[in-house]
Structure 1
Amino acid sequence: MDLNIVSLKTKRQLCKLEGISKSATIATVKELFEKKNPRYYQSRQSFRLNPKAKSLKDSDIVATMNLDVDNTLYFKDLGPQIAWATVFLLEYAGPLVLYLVFYFRFPFIYGDEFTFKPSSEWVVRVAALCHSFHYVKRLFETKFIHRFSHGTMPIRNLFKNSSYYWTFGALISYFINHPKYTVASYGESQIMLGLGIFVFCELGNFSIHYYFRNLRPAGTTRRQIPKASTNPFTWLFSFVSCPNYTYEVGIWIGFAIMTQTAVALLFAICGCLQMTQWALGKHRNYRREFSDYPRSRKAIVPFLL
């Protein structure tokens, strides 16, 4: 059979792929399309049955698709791509380095009299350790723990995501390491409470990421219902679909309590709003995909949301 490839944007025919087997997959279609249009490498391609439909999966088979009488597929250019892992590594390296620039008080930040003279407040040193640990953990997870279901993302996301993490990393560090920084209102008890929440949630977050790694076999996109295991930190699966996000929000709430800075609290709020949106989407997908998915679970906040 022949497939007519039409631009989703202009609705003009781009090419015709001839002699396509009905048992061929979209991955095969992408390979053949790339031969005719080398600039559109496979990770840059998206095909749809109609302009308003969702992108077809690489595993979708031509024979099972409800093609129109002209056997038309609509092509969308996803733009230049970059590996997910590369994006994450750059996202997380930025705030790690920037925070330490302010912590060590590099020249031209707070004035010559404070250059390379870190604060003597112990909570400032603890905050630097916590912040650095968090992003070192993220870099480690990106390199050795995470298994990405998609190999690439649009390169424009690199600048959007990096600007978010880098800007907040710099702002948080600027105020915590400022010579006029004042410690938490309730002193050591407040600091230890925040530190305790931070450490607990870091352990929980890592436990969930490690659990997800083992849940998806290497080299596959197989999906299963996540369930509580013998690790106590995974028991949160009994209440929410995305405990990794729950713990992540807890990390930054703990950090904000410990340092008592408005910008750290703002970062926690912004992160919470974004992760809530992601969690709700994943929660809906779980319920749609698995008929036996636990109906009592919420998305990110136990019993509430």
Structure 2
Amino acid sequence: MAAMEIEKLDIYNAKSGKFVTSLYGLKTSSSVLDVKHSINLQKSVLKPERQEVRLEQKGKGLKDEETLADVGVKEKEAKLYVKDLGPQMGWSTVFLCEYAGPLFIYLWVYHRPWLLYGEEAASKPVSLCAQLAAGCWTVHYAKRLVETKVVHRFSHATMPLFNLFKNCTYYWGFSAYVAYHINHPLFTPPPLFQTYTALAAFVVCELGNLSIHLALRNLRPPGTKERRVPYPDSNPLTMLFNAVSCPNYTYEVGAWVSFTIMTQCLPAGMFALCGFYQMAMWAMGKHRNYRKDFKNYPNRKAIIPFLL
């Protein structure tokens, strides 16, 4: 069927309901991204990446690749709603800032600066546990930085600028808090058996997390937003896909629980608990979307096998 021209498409503010502008010359075959570009021509401050276009004022944001016909806009005169998401910043830039901070902050505190511990602290011996903890922390965040540059393929190019400050406050603040206690001259390490056992679990979880990220990367062809159901591959660490929808989060939580046991540090446990709560929320959301978008989605939990 030939595309029909939409004589006038009225755009309203999704927050206030007030009229924003009218668009002309679009067709039912025009994409949501075309609508965003047309809005930007009328309202220069509303760059396409900071817009969320909705069919209804309180509705869900439409995908850029959907056409107006796909979402039910087929009348000669119609209306849509736009939400201003605010100033945006690239996902990779935000992630690099998030992860570089914890790496440098922890290593700075590891050297026991006089500003935190006094003049004599740097000359006192550092326990093997504290040394291993610094190594684990460094490996984890160095891995994240590398993954951000060469592994992850983001479905969205940008995120709100506010997230940069929120996320950096969380990661940088906890890094200083955890590092201060583990590297304190009065830090008391747990027994060596406990340290080594938890270290082994940490390494397995880090390798598992990397394996899942690589598997997810291979699901999405470069330059696309295609979504597929993830399944285990030849790597045995990806077998967790049989039990949960987001095994990358499962391994991430496992790594920080292991780190907490390895150091027997309460701030590290608080960091693990806060991280688990946030990742559980993300995992349950992704799990719901998988079940909604794929009819024959496997019987899995979101993040914890058999439980959650």
Q: 1:118 to 1:164 in 2, by over 3 A?
A: farther
Once the 2 structures are TM-superposed, how far is the Cα of residue 8 of structure 1 from its aligned partner? 1.7
Percent of aligned pairs with the same residue? 50
**Residue aligned with 2:114, SS:** coil
Contact 2:17 2:57 in 1 (8 A): no
Aligned to 2:101: 94
State the Cα deviation string for residues 256-286 of structure 1 (Å, max 9, x = none): 0110000001111111111111111111111
Aligned to 1:199: 203
CA–CA distance in structure 2, aligned partners of residues 155 and 127 of structure 1 = 32
How many equivalent residue pairs? 301
Aligned to 1:243: 247
Once the 2 structures are TM-superposed, how far is the Cα of residue 73 of structure 1 from its aligned partner? 0.8
Superposition CA RMSD, Å: 1.3
Aligned to 1:168: 174
Contact 2:28 2:74 in 1 (8 A): no
Contact 2:114 2:120 in 1 (8 A): no
Is 1:272 matched up with 2:276?
A: yes
1:304 is matched with which residue: 295, 302, 307?
307
1:85 is matched with which residue: 89, 92, 104?
92
2:263 is matched with which residue: 259, 262, 266?
259
**Residue aligned with 2:98, SS:** helix
2:187 is matched with which residue: 181, 184, 192?
181
Contact 2:14 2:58 in 1 (8 A): no
CA–CA distance in structure 2, aligned partners of residues 119 and 97 of structure 1 = 21
**Residue aligned with 2:30, SS:** coil
Once the 2 structures are TM-superposed, how far is the Cα of residue 131 of structure 1 from its aligned partner? 0.4
Aligned to 1:64: 70
State the Cα deviation string for residues 21-52 of structure 1 (Å, max 9, x = none): 22111111111111111111110111111111
CA–CA distance in structure 2, aligned partners of residues 93 and 293 of structure 1 = 37
Once the 2 structures are TM-superposed, how far is the Cα of residue 239 of structure 1 from its aligned partner? 0.8
CA–CA distance in structure 2, aligned partners of residues 63 and 280 of structure 1 = 31
CA–CA distance in structure 2, aligned partners of residues 283 and 11 of structure 1 = 32
1:234 is matched with which residue: 233, 238, 244?
238
Contact 1:25 1:58 in 2 (8 A): yes
CA–CA distance in structure 1, aligned partners of residues 61 and 106 of structure 2 = 40
Contact 1:105 1:118 in 2 (8 A): no
CA–CA distance in structure 1, aligned partners of residues 124 and 286 of structure 2 = 43
Once the 2 structures are TM-superposed, how far is the Cα of residue 120 of structure 1 from its aligned partner? 2.5
Aligned to 1:122: 128
Is 1:293 matched up with 2:300?
A: no
Contact 1:104 1:117 in 2 (8 A): no
CA–CA distance in structure 1, aligned partners of residues 17 and 281 of structure 2 = 32
Report 1:4-19 matches (<5 A).
4-19=10-25
CA–CA distance in structure 2, aligned partners of residues 22 and 118 of structure 1 = 72
Report 1:205-220 matches (<5 A).
205-220=209-224
Once the 2 structures are TM-superposed, how far is the Cα of residue 10 of structure 1 from its aligned partner? 2.5
Contact 1:118 1:177 in 2 (8 A): no
Contiguous gaps of at least 5 residues in structure 2: 1-5
Once the 2 structures are TM-superposed, how far is the Cα of residue 137 of structure 1 from its aligned partner? 0.3
Aligned to 2:53: 47
Contact 1:202 1:248 in 2 (8 A): yes
